[in-house]
Amino acid sequence: MKWVPRLGAVLLVAGLIAGALGVFAFSRASETAARLDGHLQKATELLREAEAVKETEPERYEMLRQDADRRAGFAESDQEEHSSQLQGGWILAGAGGAGLVGGVVLLALHRFRIGPRQARRTASRPSGQQADMWPNAR
């Protein structure tokens, strides 16, 4: 059972690393969300401007409309990236939490020896003898 504390320590370290990677994924997702908002705002501005010049300047209208469509395409790809980054962040956070809990449980089981210690105590007594609370008190 010498491997239990090592496995617990490995799980703790792996949990911390996964949690750190989850934080990194969430920070990247917030940057992507800001970029997504910028693309959407710019596309909205371009569409408003295109509608304003629709009757007077048809060439400029087409150019603005194409630029707005291009910005909307950027926003769509940013939305997909944002979604995958959030999903990855939650998966890594869950894996980090599970690793931490697993490591703590293994270390606690090894520290307090819940299972094997009790079995050894009862097996080491000769049959028919009671365990005294104060063995030298007689």
Please provide the average confidence, as pLDDT, over all residues in the chain.
85
Report which of 37, 49, 33, 40 is spatially closest to residue 71, judged by C-alpha positions: 40
The CA angle 116-117-120, to the nearest 5 degrees, is: 85
> Rounded to the nearest 10 degrees, what angle do helices 58-112 and 3-52 cross at?
170
Residue type, 65: R
Report which of 99, 79, 129, 114 is spatially closest to residue 20, judged by C-alpha positions: 99
- Give the residue-averaged pLDDT of 26-40: 94
Confidence grade of residue 2 (pLDDT, cut at 50, 70, 90)? confident
Q: What is this structure's pTM? A: 0.68
pLDDT digits (tens, 9 = 90+) for 5-17: 888 889 999 999 9
